[in-house]
Structure 1
Amino acid sequence: MPQPPGNAQPAPALSTPATPTPALPRTAAVILAAGLSSRLGEFKPLARLGDETLLERAARLLRQADVADILAVAGHRAPETLAEAERLGIRAVTNPEYATGMFSSVLAGLRAVAELRPRPDALFLLPVDVPLVRPHTLRLLLERFAASGEAPPAVLHPVFCGQRGHPPLFHARHLPELLAWDGENGLRGGLDALGERHGAEEVPVADENILFDVDDQPALAEAKIRLARRGIPTPQEALALLALHNAGERGLAHGRGVAEAALTLARALEAKGTRADVDTAFDPGPAPSLDFALIEAAALLHDIAKGQPRHEAAGAALLGSLGFHAAARIVADHRDIAPETAPRLTERELVYFADKLVRGSTRVPVRARFQLKLDLFAHDPDATAAIRRRLANALAMQQRIEAAAGAPLHRLVPGTQDT
């Protein structure tokens, strides 16, 4: 299984409606869309990803972050880029020196931003070929900027697994310095110089796509796969989310334990090669293949809101707000699933049941997992009745899994045998 991201310092969790945040800065953005597109083999700004052009995706991402002024820089095949920008309702400028390198396009965009009125407080720089950055990444960068008060760092870099990615956010007061940069090492050199003089901050984000660019046809094919799976955090993104929300070693160990148990069950069902279903009266069709990455990510994240009232609903709401809807649906139901609401064994049922096999980071039999609660609430008849109902549901799920896999649970998941 992947390891948690290293190097970057933990960032506060994304704000919730119950957590007041400072007003976000007025923000502008420059989309760099002037390059030759030589390696891709087609014109990047108009290359299609899903039902949108890459320029359209960039503009929509920035609008989702409430960026006030969006400006595209055209160069190669400029008339086409300008026409697309007009269709999208965003500003555009042309860089006649685009062939000299990307930094000339950065400068063209910055000069246009310097003329904006009202002037922005902060500025994103986003290459058009980085099309899958998640909206919550931009929101987190803006929240960190706002929370820095009167003296925010000159540059905020999104970081995933210790690597800086796109888009950087920098304070617009430093526009003159960046415009005066001599161009050595391009944009990276200019931002590094600003950071050395005025401070820079690395902001950990749960977004692999800050490191992903569409530079050739294999990358465009990969982008289409990633687009189709946007509702599913990768396991590495799940670990980053746990770090952002201060899950701690115990929470991380429990999530890993549940993920390992759920994946073990999934592998057993896949190896059996039969329907992951016992009662065909519910659904006579063939069971689809299980999504192992979704199982792992949802299992890692199932307790991300532990400690909050109705933590399963709170966790699902958090993941839904980040766009991770497939994982959110599983997290919402991990506490209890009644047999009549589960016509077949899917990722949801496996994560739910795996959670009943792990106490802390240790595997236990289902009955032992519930006995602790029964002992704790022995004085409360209503609570005891509810716990016994959940235990009955879990035992019914165990029977279905054993029947589908053709083996008793303790053989499927060692350490779960009743004593």
Structure 2
Amino acid sequence: MKTGIIILAAGESSRLGYPKQIAKYKEKTLLQLAIDAANDAKVDKRVLVLGANRDEIKKTFSGASIPNIPNPHFEKGMSSSLKIGLEYMLKLDKPDQVIVMLCDQPFVDAKILNKLIATQKKEGKGIVACAYSKTVGVPILFGSTYFKELMALTGDEGAKGIAMAHEDDMVTVAFPKGKVDIDTEEDLRDLNL
């Protein structure tokens, strides 16, 4: 099974007031933590989708560390970045499954990404989602049967809706720290306490 990882990092971080991708936690930017997690995971392909503040963000990591592509339509919402990332994956070398992750969940590491892959292998389900705060969410793994539905998303629709529509083909992995994401300066302060 070939697995790809798509890191969505194209948002404007309007609530934070500066690019959250370059906010720091434990001496690393949030984006670098996400890149490290993706690079350390047992996957075949990785891609990072950038949008708002792309030039500023690109200065903070080694371009050679992960393939990165621009989303010129990032203001059309998260779905536009997901589609660009998936198109990139499909053009290259079709993965059998992809993991969608964001750059604002500081506790996502290779261990949880590998757990998604291992759980899929064991359970044979088409969707493996992380479970936290009485819901499911990213990082989330989708088998190729869902690529068409992912490509049909619009606006700020995330992949969660697809997962919820196919609960019979979904299994979850407990990831309580998945609820921690950074949207405001306060979130960052709480994290660094």
Partner of 2:72: 96
Cross-structure match for 2:111: 136
CA distance in 2, matches of 1:176, 1:82: 30
**Contact (CA 8 Å) 1:178, 1:191: kept in 2 or not?**
no
**Structure 2 residue matching 1:164: 3-state secondary structure:** strand
Who is 2:177 aligned against?
A: 209
1:191/1:114 CA distance change after superposition, 3 Å: farther
Q: Which has the larger radius of gyration?
A: 1
Q: How far apart in 2 are the matches of 1:181 and 1:100? A: 11
Tell me: CA distance 1:39–1:181, structure 2 relative to 1, closer, same or farther (3 Å): closer
1:146 corresponds in structure 2 to: 121
Q: 1:177 to 1:166 in 2, by over 3 A?
A: closer
* Structure 1 unaligned regions, length at least 5: 1-24, 226-419
1:84 Cα deviation from its structure 2 partner: 4.3
Q: Contact 2:105 / 2:182 at 8 angstroms: preserved in 1?
A: yes
CA distance 1:116–1:224, change in 2 (3 Å) = farther
Q: 2:188 aligns to what?
A: 220
Q: Which amino acid aligns with 1:200?
A: M
Partner SS state of residue 104, structure 1: helix
Instruction: Tell whether 2:170 aligns with 1:200.
Output: yes
Alpha-carbon distance, 1:134 to partner: 4.2
Separation in structure 1 between the aligned mates of residue 71 and residue 156 of structure 2, nearest angstrom? 19
Pair 1:56 & 2:28 matched: no
Which of 123, 126, 139 pairs up with 2:101?
126
In 1, distance between residues paired with 2:108 and 2:148? 28
Distance (Å, rounded) in 1 between the aligned partners of 2:57 and 2:156: 28
CA drift of 1:141 comes to 1.5
Alpha-carbon distance between aligned partners in 1 of 2:157 and 2:34, rounded to the nearest angstrom: 25
Runs of 5+ unmatched residues, structure 2: none
CA distance in 1, matches of 2:156, 2:61: 30
Contact 1:166 1:211 in 2 (8 A): no
CA distance in structure 2 between the aligned counterparts of 1:75 and 1:209, rounded to whole angstroms: 26
Output one character per residue of 1:398-419: Cα deviation in whole Å (capped at 9) or x when no partner: xxxxxxxxxxxxxxxxxxxxxx
Q: 1:111 to 1:167 in 2, by over 3 A?
A: same
Residues matched between the structures, number: 193
TM-score w.r.t. the length of structure 2 is 0.87
**C-alpha root-mean-square deviation of aligned residues, in Å?**
2.3
- In structure 1, C-alpha distance between the alignment counterparts of 2:19 and 2:153, rounded to whole Å: 29
Match of 1:42 in 2: 18
Q: 1:43 to 1:181 in 2, by over 3 A?
A: closer
Q: Is the 8 A contact 2:79 2:156 kept in 1?
A: no
The 5 A counterparts of 1:152-163 are 152-160=124-132, 162-163=134-135
The separation in 1 between residues aligned to 2:169 and 2:111, in whole angstroms, is: 23
- Distance change (3 Å), C-alpha of 1:163 and 1:174: closer
SS at match of 2:13: coil
SS in 2 for 1:153: coil
What is the identity percentage for the equivalent residue pairs of Structure 1 and Structure 2?
Answer: 28
Q: 1:70 and 1:180 mapped to 2: Cα distance?
A: 21
2: CA distance, partners of 1:216 / 1:179: 30
- Counterpart AA for 2:48: A
Match of 2:87 in 1: 111
* 8 A contact 2:137–2:160 mirrored in 1: no
